[in-house]
Amino acid sequence: MDGDFRVDTGEIHRSIESAEVIALYFPLLRKTLLVDTRSSALDRPLVRVVPMAESVEARFRSLRRLRPRFPQPESIAIVPWDKYVPSLKRLGVLDCLLERIAASGCGEAVRSCNEAYEELMRLQQDEFVKAIKGIDYTPIWGKVC
């Protein structure tokens, strides 16, 4: 169950197609799928699951640490994803990301994107298990014997 929150996939696709950096963050997981499409002779595009930043400024600082040879990006798309991870595929967002990364000609970055998606799937499953077991969650009801 993914909630009834509407997602403007057209706007998300336009952002992915135009931004140099895409930060798709998952509040439930406290993680961000960070995609930096910029590349050089020394650096390929970056695709990585990173901790969720506390602010846009913090995201820029972390990006600077991850990509010290690049200047501040000219454009960044910050997209909150309050749905479950599989909906990225179902709504075409993952395919849009893969197409954008594939356009760079870097097969390794495409593999990294697929691996990042699988990592997010594992993290989501782990979060569900923690919720069911009451680990890092406060139940709203008492223990039942």
- Cβ atoms of 120 and 26 within 8 Å: the answer is yes
Average pLDDT over residues 4-31: 89
CB atoms within 10 A of CB 139: 8
Q: For the segment 46-70, what is each residue's pLDDT rounded down to a tens digit?
A: 999 999 999 889 999 999 999 999 9
Give the pLDDT score at 73: 94
> Exposed/middle/buried for 122, CB within 10 Å: 0-12, 13-18, 19+?
exposed
Q: Dig out the tokens for 15 from the structure.
A: 């952002």
pTM of this prediction?
Answer: 0.87
Hey, where are the domains in the chain?
9-133
Q: For the segment 77-123, what is each residue's pLDDT rounded down to a tens digit?
A: 999 999 999 999 999 999 999 999 998 888 889 999 999 999 999 99
145: pLDDT strictly greater than 90: no
